[in-house]
Amino acid sequence: MTNLMKTTSLATLILLFSGCTNIIDNFNAPTKPRVDNSIEVVNYDSIKSIPDMANIGFEWEKVNDSRVIGYNFYRTELDKGSNELKLVKTMDNKYATHYVDKGLEPKTRYAYQISSITADGIESKTTDAYIVQTLPRIVPVEFIQAISNLPKSVKLIWRPHTDTRVGYYRIEKYNTLLNEWILLKTIKERLQVEYLDTGLDDNTSYKYRIKAFSFDDVEAAPSKVVIGKTKPLPANVSNIQTTNNQAKRITISWNASSTSDVVKYAIYRSSFSMLGYSKIKEVNADTLQYTDTTEDSGKAYYYKIVAIDKDGLENYSNSVQGMSFNSISNPTSNLAKIELNQNYYN
């Protein structure tokens, strides 16, 4: 089928609204169609329509004129004050009696006129203006909630849309760097009403909203904006103490984290204050002391205590140094002093 476009000026919208004007008569040269008044016109009373939000379906009775090979559909948009009539569809089969005009605006009035066409491009007079209005948009999602205090995530729940024309949802998240809403996720089922946004920063707030879409991609207005905040890390332990008076041992003690859902502590050790830490022990939340053994006396280590909550969130303390006691300080020098004293008295 071939799509054509022809433009005309409406004589007056008032006449058009009345449904008793023939817009095709207002075409200006050189785009004015060639009209033969003897060609059979589509019966106006046979035209029926079913509107949706973005589409309008039409039905009409075919004409019996043997010269007719199809139909032209003309349209203008009334609610925008349009003064142009456009050829939106040429149907090249006279037995075709149904047409769907797509990509329209919701809750908008359109006027249509149909002409019969012959093989050499001559048209009949058009029908009078047939006025039809598309349906309004789907209403927004009415209820949405953001559930906070989850580890590195925010949970969104909403009430399923009651309009069965809803085909899917789009979840949008506010990007604070771009200062705009971005698409986070498309939910393809009307009855699916939960989404978890994961991999988020700790103790951080995020904004969300949801849009419902029809099966033919007409969007509703966005829902209200909701804010969800991720769970903070557990509080650090405090008052970490280490010993330096135990042979081949270092005892580390600390005060408990103030966070109520801490379930255990991990002890990390390194020979360096800034790097190279490895876990040497985990203890339960009631244990606030650990004794580390060393191979040599006088050995120094750095320690960090990690508070771990029930969700596995961890918070590392600052490093502290401990040392095992060196019970013999420089034994070679002491032996030399003893021998020197013996020689002195001889």
pLDDT at residue number 326: 80
Q: Give residues with Cβ within 8 angstroms of 229, minimum separation 6.
A: 148, 149, 154, 203, 204, 205, 206
Q: Give residues with Cβ within 8 angstroms of 279, minimum separation 6.
A: 266, 267, 268
- Smallest CA-to-CA distance from 228 within 203, 199, 261, 211 is with 203
Q: Strand pairing partners for 158? A: 144
In this prediction, residue 151 has a pLDDT band, given cuts at 50, 70 and 90, of very high
Residue with structure tokens 């339960």? 284
Strands (E), 24-129: 48-51, 56-59, 68-77, 86-91, 98-101, 109-118
Report the half-sphere exposure of 106 (CA within 13 A, side-chain side). Answer: 14
The whole-angstrom distance between residue 299's C-alpha and the CA centroid of its chain comes to 55
pLDDT at residue number 2: 33
Q: Give residues with Cβ within 8 angstroms of 179, minimum separation 6.
A: none
Question: To which H or E segment does residue 268 belong?
Answer: strand 262-270
Q: How far apart are CA 264 and CA 284, in angstroms?
A: 4
pLDDT at residue number 338: 33
In this prediction, residue 31 has a pLDDT band, given cuts at 50, 70 and 90, of low
Of all residues in the chain, what percent carry a pLDDT higher than 90? 81
Q: How far apart are CA 55 and CA 218, in angstroms?
A: 10
Q: Which amino acid is at 170?
A: R
DSSP string computed for 221-249: PP---EEEEPPPPPPPPEEEEE-SSSTTE
pLDDT at residue number 85: 85
- Is the pTM above the cut of 0.85? no
Pairing label, strands 226-229, 314-316: unpaired
Q: What residue ranges define each of the domains in the chain, with the CATH number in brackets?
A: 13-133 (2.60.40.10), 144-229 (2.60.40.10), 238-323 (2.60.40.10)
Angle at Cα 86 formed by Cα 84 and Cα 92, nearest 5°?
160
Of all residues in the chain, what percent carry a pLDDT higher than 70? 85
Tens digit of each residue's pLDDT (9 = 90 or more) over 279-300: 999 999 999 999 999 988 899 9
Residue with structure tokens 């004589």? 11
pLDDT at residue number 80: 82
What is the residue-averaged pLDDT of the chain? 88
Q: How far apart are CA 125 and CA 25, in angstroms?
A: 8
pLDDT at residue number 327: 66
For residue 302, with 0-12 CB atoms within 10 Å meaning exposed, 13-18 middle and 19 or more buried, which class applies? Answer: buried
Q: Is the distance from CB of 126 to CB of 139 less than 8 angstroms? A: no
Instruction: Output b/e per residue, 215-236; b: 16+ Cβ within 10 A.
Output: eeebebebbeebebbbbebbeb
Residue with structure tokens 């966070």? 259
Instruction: Output b/e per residue, 247-286; b: 16+ Cβ within 10 A.
Output: ebbbebebebbebeebeebbbbbbeeeeeebeeeeeeebe
Q: Which amino acid is at 58?
A: F
